[in-house]
Structure 1
Amino acid sequence: MMNPLLSINNLQQAYADGSLTPRQVVTDILQRVEDYTASTVFIVPPTWERLTPYVEKLERVNMQNFPLYGIPFVIKDNIDWVDVDTTAACPTYAYTPTESATVVQRLIDAGAIPIGKTNLDQFATGLIGTRSPYGVVKNALNEELISGGSSSGSAVAVALGFASFGLGTDTAGSGRVPAALNELYGLKPSLGAWPVKGVVPACESLDCVTVFATELQDVYSVDAVVRGEDAADIWSRAVPLAPAANPAVVCLPKNDLTFFGPYAHEYEAAWNRTVQRLENGNVPIRYIDVTYLQEAAAILYDGPWIAERWSAIGDFVEDHPDEIFDVTRQLLRESENQTYRATELFQAMHRLQALKKRAMLELENAVLVLPTTGGTWTIQQAKEDPISTNQQLGLYTNHCNLLDLAAIAVPADHATADVPFGITLFSRFDEEHLLKGLATTIERGNTIPVAVCGLHMRGFALEHQMLECQATFAYQTTTASTYRLYQLATQPAKPGLVRGADGVAIEVEVWDMPIAQLGAFMQRIPAPLGMGKVQLANGLEVLGFICEPDAIEQALDISYTGGWRYLETTSIE
């Protein structure tokens, strides 16, 4: 059976040893997309007819000559893919490009397989993931929550295992917010480092193409293929990536931060834990005043720069007002209605240059760390108040491109079991290698304890899933004396751990799992099992397997054994 974890490394190993072929991978993806009930992830979903030429080409070549041989990826539908409509989530705007965007063509030339085109907040205007006539893109981990925008579809497609990586775009945070909300890495390279030729502009002077992936190395495997100047792109520039290195100092905000939404307290607690881990790390910490970042961000939406959005698509909006999503039309109209004198534009440019200079000096050989977002929202809350919810999501992202910074969103912790918490690392445009170095350091030390009580324990049938997720065994212990263990009526038989009044201590194993792998791991857990808080004998609460209470009605109570390992009558295949 195919490994559903589509990391580039996993696939490359499987292709090399002959255990998988690109045709098998594409077949599996097509089936998973078909089985997924929420159809809003794709605007142009994958089909065999469209993908066959790519698969057949790979079957005729030497994989050693293609660094991304057989690696499936998705494309945000404001990025051109030859002969496939680009809509920018506006059907009337659609056109059929005669060539692919530079980044897409470079990926295809490297052997990657474009799977489909994904949904987005219309014209890349928004950080929510709900502003599309093609429907709301639900969060991959908790369908009541927003997925983040504007690159919602690409992020969710990767988190659900429909692709190894996804292309997004980022003007004010669209390549980072969806990464944080769906527990992914999201790389936003320096302005111009990746060509934007073939991308529908939002704010053309600030737009970047970005990548989402479940593993840090994957984003840099993509970066190695697409980075580089394109002479046909007026915004392109040479920004080479030096070998990864840790910064001399990590900058953290000395100001009080704002947290919001239904998980505000949990987000703040996750941020505080993250700060503590950074303080206990090997890189020195410097606390800085970050209020000037908000002043820079205000130039984007509260100053003359807002007119750049209207300059890109204003004529289309004027000619097709009824085709524009309501909130999008409102925001674009506001940008047109605000008039600024030429002197005000130059004043904004000069002030922004002063803020850029400050950032360049302050971040020399340094990396700034902030929460990617200060919270999240339910889909319903975002619908009821679409403007302010969106504004708050950009609180820690909007400044980035205006200040010519590079950034990478990194999974860092969890607010709750199914609500991830992420941070963003910022560097100068010419010191991106520091992001890779610090992100690697964080990844190696960034794990979460997970308690398993059955098939995932050492020596049992699903131990391989723990190893595939790069989890390492930590220790063996028992739960608090408040649990019952049941043998569920499943094939094969599985344990169900349920908290109850007359419970006993049940043996569990605690494994340290990289946070970046947790989302993909949870996607593999079938009902009636799930993940929640499990209290250990020492009083510590960790993430672990729990069972829906209704499932035990037909199950056998085996609590008397003290644990799955001691169940003599059960044979695990």
Structure 2
Amino acid sequence: MADKHFPRALSIRWLRDAYLKHEVSPEDTVREIVNRAEADAGMNIWITPPRMERIRPYLDRLASLDPAGAPLWGIPFAMKDNIDWAGVPTTAGCPDFQYVPTEHAAVVARLIAAGAIPVGKTNMDQFATGLVGTRSPYGETHNALRGDLISGGSSSGSAVAVARGHAAFALGTDTAGSGRVPAALNGLVGFKPSLGAWPTKGVVHACASLDCVTVFTHDLADALEVDRAARGIDDFDPWSKSFLPPTAAIPAKLCLPKEQLHFFGPYAKEYGRAWQTAVERLNRLDIEIEYVDIRLFSQAASLLYGGPFVEERWAGLGGFIDAHPGSALPVTEQILRSGAAEQYDAASLFKAMHTLQMLKLESGKLLKDAVLVLPTAGGTWSRDQVRANPVQTNNEMGRYTNHCNLLDLCAVAVPSDAAAIGLPFGITLFALAENEGLLCGAAKAFLGDPGVHATAVSRPNTLVAVCGLHMRGYPLEKQMRACGARFVREDRTAAKYRMVRLPTTPSKPGLVKRPQGGSAIGLEVWEMPMEAFGLFVASIPAPLCIGKVELRDGTEIPGFVCEDYAAAEAEDITAFGGWRTAK
């Protein structure tokens, strides 16, 4: 594998191109994923981790598939462990609940038929009863960027698997936000189709009438590729509905909250500023903005866990909990047993249903030809804080998500400008079930997709030359991603530079321009939003700093350089031509 270079962020587009050029094979990809999963074992991403012997039949099967007719040929994916993979245990995050299904979940079968390769089953909040990613007997799933912070739940492992490059995409489920919150906390796209658009047959339900299978990816295009393979009615799924794949279109308006939003947690101020930055970006789009009263969405959200709808969870899992005392985590059992509370009866359920129907009517009028935009999450927490206060911290994570499925909305969570280094921030766009195309069009406009017919004023960016640990595949690439930076190209400096190995732990390169002589040094060029650039520069430790780097074509761009005093006594590694080839 030494001669195979994989980017940290695996994407459908990159893999497809690499396969076409015979630069890597699907087997190379799986071996890289197995190595990455083993290296990240302490992050508790997997319940059933990637193993070559388990994946081998799906690799061998590719020889019988025509890549031209298999749109996901050779694309590795992960699935949350409440989604069935034939012959592999499904635990739903509870060892005593475990069973081995004899057939794939409907959506998994469709993806495999399209050529995708299942690689493993991911960790989750037990029985999908959380938005924090810490409620699992298989360990707390660490955030992909900062291990002290929560990863988001309940589809925690699926999101982190994609963010850490263990899969090109991963399936989650979403009842109250589980397909969106982990996306925001790990810098990803989380696509939640309309209820029933993807079949849920073969899924361990949290609330069968509200559950959706969702997907995590690095960009919206990949999410929609998966959608095309997964979507469609299933004749054996009572919750399945017929929805055509969305065609991106621009909504008549974007609805933003007129009231001041609540932000929480240790980074509440940073989240508040990031939301204002996102609003400024939205206002630069050529789409009408209307500021609306969002209390109706809060009312709907309160019905999900503050009313008789919680009984649906107990209806599905109460029998297991009663028959297996002590099998569930205490916090999980507490949540499930709330559905058996004496104050809930048939009359209270019907009253809640009638209230919800009125709220659906109001939201339908408000969002006709429109898209609602909210923060995906109003903050985050450290894992220690969640342990100390598991219920309240979890409740806060659902503040801007819980209304979605009750009101029969589709949604997509997309990254916005980072709140701080290593602290992603994202927004969620919501639309009526029949308006998935407006959802996708608005998301593409916000992300700057040139294929959408909307005038988006580009946010100012700067190129940055990166020559060391911030390059793709190295430990500090995550800092670039957290700042909203994107890889542009590989390049070389003008033949005027010396590279040294600094005596740090881990060792880092230092790039020094010489008045005469010197060599051309390999590097990467990235593009970073100017809003994040200042904070990024301020975080760089001496003796490294940002200066002007002259490229081989004579242009100068900001990039990593080293102060002369530190380079004087450091080991000269110029002859290697770059950090990737330095020994």
Question: In the alignment, is the contact (CA less than 8 A) between 1:447 and 1:512 conserved in 2?
Answer: no
Partner letter of residue 261 of structure 1?
G
Describe the shift of the 1:111–1:294 C-alpha distance in structure 2 as closer, same or farther (beyond 3 A): same
Confirm whether residue 366 of structure 1 aligns to residue 370 of structure 2: yes
Confirm whether residue 339 of structure 1 aligns to residue 343 of structure 2: yes
What is the match of residue 124 of structure 2? 120
What is the match of residue 176 of structure 1? 180
Report deviation, 1:59. Answer: 2.8
For residues 356 and 429 of structure 2, the distance between their equivalents in structure 1, rounded to whole angstroms, comes to: 21
Confirm whether residue 144 of structure 1 aligns to residue 148 of structure 2: yes
**Deviations 1:191-222, CA, capped at 9 Å, x for gaps:** 00000000001111000000000111110000
**Deviations 1:385-408, CA, capped at 9 Å, x for gaps:** 000000000000000000000000
Q: Mind listing any 5+ residue stretches in structure 2 that lack a counterpart?
A: 449-455, 490-498, 513-522, 545-560, 579-583
What is the match of residue 527 of structure 2? 512
For residues 548 and 32 of structure 1, the distance between their equivalents in structure 2, rounded to whole angstroms, comes to: 30
Partner letter of residue 196 of structure 1?
T
For residues 389 and 398 of structure 1, the distance between their equivalents in structure 2, rounded to whole angstroms, comes to: 14
What is the match of residue 111 of structure 2? 107
Pairing of 1:197-216 with structure 2 (within 5 A)? 197-216=201-220
Pairing of 1:528-547 with structure 2 (within 5 A)? 540-542=534-536, 546-547=540-541
Q: Mind listing any 5+ residue stretches in structure 1 that lack a counterpart?
A: 474-484, 498-507, 516-531, 535-539, 551-556
Partner letter of residue 327 of structure 1?
V
Name the SS of the counterpart of 1:98 in structure 2: coil
Name the SS of the counterpart of 2:166 in structure 1: coil
TM-score, normalised with respect to structure 2: 0.83
Report deviation, 1:338. Answer: 3.9
What is the match of residue 5 of structure 2? 2
What is the match of residue 233 of structure 2? 229
Report deviation, 1:173. Answer: 0.4
For residues 421 and 348 of structure 2, the distance between their equivalents in structure 1, rounded to whole angstroms, comes to: 48
Describe the shift of the 1:119–1:64 C-alpha distance in structure 2 as closer, same or farther (beyond 3 A): same
For residues 461 and 117 of structure 2, the distance between their equivalents in structure 1, rounded to whole angstroms, comes to: 35
Describe the shift of the 1:109–1:141 C-alpha distance in structure 2 as closer, same or farther (beyond 3 A): same
What is the match of residue 138 of structure 2? 134
Pairing of 1:317-332 with structure 2 (within 5 A)? 317-332=321-336
For residues 538 and 466 of structure 2, the distance between their equivalents in structure 1, rounded to whole angstroms, comes to: 11
Report deviation, 1:541. Answer: 4.3
Describe the shift of the 1:84–1:560 C-alpha distance in structure 2 as closer, same or farther (beyond 3 A): closer
Confirm whether residue 494 of structure 1 aligns to residue 509 of structure 2: yes
Partner letter of residue 455 of structure 1?
C
For residues 182 and 99 of structure 1, the distance between their equivalents in structure 2, rounded to whole angstroms, comes to: 31
Pairing of 1:385-400 with structure 2 (within 5 A)? 385-400=389-404
Name the SS of the counterpart of 2:419 in structure 1: strand
**Deviations 1:522-568, CA, capped at 9 Å, x for gaps:** xxxxxxxxxx987xxxxx54458724779xxxxxx95249999xx99
Name the SS of the counterpart of 1:148 in structure 2: coil
Report deviation, 1:279. Answer: 1.1
Report deviation, 1:335. Answer: 1.8
For residues 496 and 317 of structure 1, the distance between their equivalents in structure 2, rounded to whole angstroms, comes to: 61
Partner letter of residue 152 of structure 1?
S
Partner letter of residue 421 of structure 2?
A
For residues 233 and 514 of structure 1, the distance between their equivalents in structure 2, rounded to whole angstroms, comes to: 45
Q: 2:284 aligns with which of 280, 283, 287?
A: 280
Partner letter of residue 209 of structure 1?
V
Pairing of 1:45-444 with structure 2 (within 5 A)? 45-444=49-448
Name the SS of the counterpart of 1:430 in structure 2: helix
For residues 11 and 448 of structure 1, the distance between their equivalents in structure 2, rounded to whole angstroms, comes to: 30
Partner letter of residue 5 of structure 2?
M
Describe the shift of the 1:148–1:46 C-alpha distance in structure 2 as closer, same or farther (beyond 3 A): same
**Deviations 1:234-290, CA, capped at 9 Å, x for gaps:** 000011134201111011000110000000000000001111111122111000000
Question: In the alignment, is the contact (CA less than 8 A) between 1:102 and 1:196 conserved in 2?
Answer: yes
Question: In the alignment, is the contact (CA less than 8 A) between 2:232 and 2:242 conserved in 1?
Answer: yes
Report deviation, 1:88. Answer: 0.3
For residues 28 and 122 of structure 2, the distance between their equivalents in structure 1, rounded to whole angstroms, comes to: 22
Deviation beyond 3 Å, 4+ runs, structure 1: 445-454, 469-473, 489-493, 508-511, 540-545, 547-550, 560-564, 567-571
**Deviations 1:288-324, CA, capped at 9 Å, x for gaps:** 0001111111111111111000000000000112010
What is the match of residue 553 of structure 2? none
Question: In the alignment, is the contact (CA less than 8 A) between 2:80 and 2:155 conserved in 1?
Answer: yes
Q: CA RMSD in A?
A: 3.2
Describe the shift of the 1:60–1:562 C-alpha distance in structure 2 as closer, same or farther (beyond 3 A): same
For residues 387 and 408 of structure 1, the distance between their equivalents in structure 2, rounded to whole angstroms, comes to: 26
